[in-house]
Structure 1
């Protein structure tokens, strides 16, 4: 959940955002190549987000709402978003697992909306969004794909094409000359064989808590 796209000149509002960030309720990040004034703020407090999905939605006061939601689309949606937040809150462990803890780096997000038709205003090609990338001082960038599943994650042909398109779009639109590697972070590793062999860096949930 993104709560603000840009800084504001309102001093009180800016102070409130700063205090929320310091308390760990939100995180601030900038798109790679952008300035601080273009920062995005994302709500990351785990209980607050759990509240929105499973407490505020429980309008009937059902004490079994959480357990009865297991296996539902609501549960899987929340689990996927929660896993992404856990990854974002364990960047140091991700760096260590990838073997570049001593390298100076910065964490960013990036998005590309694609060109629009000047007449209709409709987007002509699909855009791309990367929730977390790590820009390293050793001329390398890791694009992090975070996937939660209850079993080893299978990369389908469609998913492989989407990942390749996201990487190529990022390289083309940013003009980066750095080596761009995909880092796939999954809950229970990648299913062996097939398209998983094309992933350069693989991490599991266990790496986040070492």
Structure 2
């Protein structure tokens, strides 16, 4: 609602934190466009305020220092450069659910049923998945402890886009731990309010994803598959065959000693 507590907080927040706040708002909106994150080159091409160079670098650093975004390099794709994604939960909530309704009557017409209706829509579960991923990226230390990863490790995401779609599809891995003990832990991040079920179709897709990862990275490491699932996973023949480790929402909020 227009007088709701969070309705105007986005503008107030950025106006209070940054001089020239419109530039930072523009950058946040651009970065939020793609769930998997956006390349710096995409930001340069899309921003209506900034050009290449130090100005953009400084603005992005300001946003990262304030914990609105995180930068990362997809593992195995050094030429792609740095990517950015939103990690501030409120910003993504605002851009997804509030900003787009400000100039419409959707909320007013739906009354108190607006949010309850949205929670049954596919876009709600997509948003929840993104928000859960962002929380996971903030709790890498807890994930390492839950998976008993105490050796040196390179951490990142991984994706592959096939140039020959007929031969095989692309693949994306939410989180990868490339360990120095000869093991690579591949993590699937899944949000659900019930234990996640690995059905036959999902199991086949996961096996294909792992196969593509091995082919494209040419890794010699043993591959372990772990799930980071808010409510855990339901045990069945597929989970017993494929899953080496499970991290739940409770694990993410255990104190790191």
The TM-score range, normalised by the shorter chain, is 0.7 to 0.9
- Structure 1: 4+ residue segments shifted above 4 A: 5-9
| CA distance, structure 2, for counterparts of residue 144 and residue 44 of structure 1 | 18
Matched, 1:111 2:146: no
1:56 aligns with 99
Work out which of the residue numbers 204, 228, 239 in structure 2 matches 1:196.
239
- Quick check: which has more Rg, 1 or 2? 2
Secondary structure of the residue aligned to 1:154 is coil
Please identify which structure carries the higher strand content: 1
| Superposition pairs of residues 26-175 of structure 1, within 5 angstroms | 26-35=69-78, 38-58=81-101, 59-60=104-105, 61-62=107-108, 64=112, 65-100=114-149, 102-116=150-164, 124-175=167-218
Change in 2 beyond 3 A, CA 1:51/1:13 = same
| CA distance, structure 1, for counterparts of residue 172 and residue 208 of structure 2 | 11
Residue 3 of structure 1, CA deviation: 3.4
Query: Please, which runs of 5 or more residues in structure 2 have no aligned partner?
Result: 1-33, 45-51
| CA distance, structure 2, for counterparts of residue 21 and residue 178 of structure 1 | 33
Choose 172-181 or 65-74, whichever is displaced more. Answer: 65-74
- Decide whether the 8 Å contact of 1:54 with 1:66 is kept in 2: no
Work out which of the residue numbers 35, 39, 56 in structure 2 matches 1:4.
39
Query: Please, which runs of 5 or more residues in structure 1 have no aligned partner?
Result: 117-121
Secondary structure of the residue aligned to 1:95 is helix
How big is each residue's C-alpha offset from its partner over 1:170-199, in whole Å with a ceiling of 9 and x where there is no partner?
111011111111111111111112211121
Q: TM-score, normalised by structure 1?
A: 0.88
- Decide whether the 8 Å contact of 1:27 with 1:41 is kept in 2: yes
- Decide whether the 8 Å contact of 2:39 with 2:81 is kept in 1: no
| CA distance, structure 1, for counterparts of residue 163 and residue 167 of structure 2 | 6
Please identify which structure carries the higher helix content: 2
Aligned residues: 204
Secondary structure of the residue aligned to 2:162 is coil
Secondary structure of the residue aligned to 1:162 is helix
User: Once superposed, what is the RMSD of the aligned Cα atoms?
Assistant: 2.1
Choose 5-14 or 87-96, whichever is displaced more. Answer: 5-14
